[in-house]
Structure 1
Amino acid sequence: MLGMRFSLTVQQILVPLKNRKLVIFPLAANFLLVPLLALGVLFIFPLSEGLSIGLFLLGTSAGAPFLPKLAQVAQGDASFAVGLMVLLMVVTIIYVPIVLPLLLSGVTINPWDIAKSLILLMLLPLATALFIRTRYEEVANGLLPLMTQATNLSLLVLFVAFFVVYFSELIGVIGSTALWRR
């Protein structure tokens, strides 16, 4: 989160969010279409209880931390991606504790448990970078290349580590009956 944010200002992040048409579609997609798609998948392909809950959790939780990096790689609008990511996180904190108990019986969600990790892992680094950029622009410009390399390396390590750590579980699910049990 620190890397790209050294290159942005608060104003650059907020300006694209003023375009209602630009904001409404991602909100509808993330909080209506994706959860409905998850429900549709579960209706068509009955998964085991654990996989069903996991898919639905992923379907209702928006605000992926790598969204700004994807926008940067795609040469898109990084400032809009950061603003949208923050907006999606805030709505997720409100949305998930309301929707999950309605759709998954016996589930209770503490909004603070969701907010805590998002604040610590995403919003705090964002705020730190924006503060440094505002107060010490030369420091931010100097740190930008280093932070960009650190971001790229950490994403690569995360991707490889995921497959190394969970390889046997991934292989175990393929071709097993875990996908078809209720």
Structure 2
Amino acid sequence: MLIPKLLWPLLVYEICSTTVEAIEAKINKFTKRWLGVPPGLTDMAMYCRKAKLRLPLKSILEEYKCGKARLLSMLEDSDVPTVKTVQPTIKTGRKWKVVEAIDEAKECFKIKEVIGQTQTNRKWLGSSTAKWWSKAEGGEKRDMVINEIRLNEDSRRVQKAVQQSQHG
């Protein structure tokens, strides 16, 4: 209930990603207190999609990044010629840039296409339902980029959790 009301102003106004991180840290503090978990619990335990125990919580920072990427890709793929020629810029601060994240996701898909289908489970070879980047259309490409940004955020959380074991 809180996230949709909070995301709209974050997407419409030019708010940097560090401000969103600070908002998420405050919300995490109160959420951890409400859940009764220790304050040292990582974000991976709360928001990660790869973990065994998944809570039905969404990361505000992840939703912010996906929303900004969706906004930029919609403006770039617009059918209106004046919108295409303007080359919109979306400011997100110095830490994270939308254009770099989208370019990184597109490059990742091109690399996956060159590598080809690989068997990742016990199903038969070629059972993957992954759509290739070159065959995907505008809306499908946008969804693929946003899912890749979500996967990057998940991997960032996993890296943070792995690094914490070295400190303890």
After TM superposition, the score normalised by the length of structure 1 is 0.29
More helix by share: 1
The structure with higher relative contact order (CA 8 Å, sep 6+) is 1
TM-score for both structures, normalised by structure 2 = 0.31
